[in-house]
Amino acid sequence: MKRLILFIMMVLPTIAMAQVPHLTKLTDKYNGIDGVTAMTVNKQMIQMFASGDQTMEMVNEIVLLLSEDATIANNIIADAKKAIKKSKIEELITHNDEGATMTIYTKMKSDKVTDLVVLIENDSPSGFITINGEIPMEKLDEVVHIVNK
């Protein structure tokens, strides 16, 4: 029994690092609230719409959480910033344009991006998008452009 507990304690951090779990909890928290758009697109759906696109086949999941309601959006942004800080993912770039701020964070494993978080602070809507997979850094730009379409 002690060996099993020790094994679980050793493996648990590895499993927890597979995604940004704090942001997943936020999606669960805000899902179903009026004025909030929450969507999770799994690998099967991504592959259905991106058939033949080798770059998108590297993506496992896309999660979107946005709100046009200023109060809710501010809460989502504040909670997302706390979750990002807890997740210890690195800021890649911040872009300010006409009152809107977009900050991109990444989590790396070897030379691949395993998690990409786009935090959007705008008049309307605001929130975040996460992309999970194993994306080579040189393909990151392609994935961001495809998701923004």
Structure confidence by residue, pLDDT tens digits, 104-148: 898 888 888 888 898 999 877 899 988 888 888 777 777 666 555
pLDDT bracket for residue 12 (50, 70, 90): very low
Task: Please compute the mean of the pLDDT values over residues 86-97 and round it to a whole number.
Answer: 86
8 Å CB contact between 131 and 146: no
Give which of 69, 70, 59, 71 is closest to 129, Cα–Cα: 59
DSSP strand E in the chain: where? Answer: 36-42, 59-67, 90-97, 100-109, 112-121, 126-136
For residue 117, give both structure tokens. 């978080």
What does the pLDDT read at residue 56?
Answer: 77
The DSSP secondary-structure symbol of 124 reads S
Task: Please compute the mean of the pLDDT values over residues 69-74 and round it to a whole number.
Answer: 93
Q: What is the pTM of this model?
A: 0.77
* Average pLDDT value for the chain: 78
Residues 6+ apart with CB under 8 A from 30: 36, 38, 65, 67, 72, 76
8 Å CB contact between 60 and 20: no
Peptide bond into 13 cis (omega under 30): no
* Partners of 62 in beta bridges: 41, 131
